[in-house]
Amino acid sequence: MGIDDICHTSLTLGLGFIAPADDPVPVGKGEPGNCTVKRTPRARPGVTAVEPYLTLALSRESYDVGGVPKTAVAPSDGNSSDQGEGRRRHSSPHSTVSSFSSQRVKREGYLSSSEEVEAEPLKAADEDDSGGVSRRRKKLRLSKEQSALLEESFKRRSTLNPKQKQALSRQLNLRPRQVEVWFQNRRARTKLKKTEVDCEILKKCCETLKDENRRLQKELHQLKTLQLAQPCQLHMSGRATLNVCPSCQRVDSKSPFSMTPMAHTHNRMSNPSTAC
DNA sequence: GTGATCGCCAAGGTTACGTCA
DNA sequence: TATGACGTAACCTTGGCGATC
CA of A52 to C1' of B8 (A): 28
CA of A104 to C1' of C3 (A): 37
Of A52, A41, A42, A48, residue with least CA distance to A10: A52
Do strands A25-26 and A36-37 pair parallel, antiparallel, or not at all (unpaired)? antiparallel
One digit per residue, pLDDT tens: chain A, 276 residues?
Answer: 333 333 333 333 333 333 333 333 322 222 222 222 222 232 333 333 333 333 333 333 333 333 333 333 333 333 333 333 333 333 333 333 333 333 333 333 333 333 333 333 333 333 333 333 344 456 677 888 888 888 888 888 888 888 888 888 888 888 888 888 888 888 888 888 777 778 788 888 999 999 999 999 999 999 999 888 876 555 544 444 455 555 555 555 444 444 333 433 334 333 433 334
Q: What is the pLDDT of residue A252?
A: 53
CA of A80 to C1' of B14 (A): 12
Strands annotated E in chain A? 25-26, 36-37
Nucleotide B13's nearest residue (CA vs C1') is A188
Q: Say yes or no: Cβ of A89 under 7 A from any atom of strand C.
A: yes
Q: Say yes or no: Cβ of A90 under 7 A from any atom of strand C.
A: yes
CA of A139 to C1' of C19 (A): 35
Euclidean distance between CA atoms A206 and A200, whole angstroms:
10
CA angle A150/A121/A74 to nearest 5° reads 110
Q: Say yes or no: Cβ of A85 under 7 A from any atom of strand C.
A: yes
Q: Say yes or no: Cβ of A139 under 7 A from any atom of strand C.
A: yes
If phi > 0 it is left, if psi is from -120 to 50 it is alpha, else beta; for residue A132 that is beta
Q: Which nucleotides of C are covered by protein (CB under 7 A)?
A: 7-17
Q: What is the pLDDT of residue A248?
A: 54
Q: What is the pLDDT of residue A220?
A: 94
CA of A241 to C1' of B16 (A): 70
Q: What is the pLDDT of residue A223?
A: 92
Burial label for A13, CB within 10 Å (0-12, 13-18, 19+), is middle
CA of A93 to C1' of C18 (A): 15
Q: What is the pLDDT of residue A51?
A: 35
Strands annotated E in A2-97? 25-26, 36-37
Q: Which nucleotides of B are covered by protein (CB under 7 A)?
A: 4-19
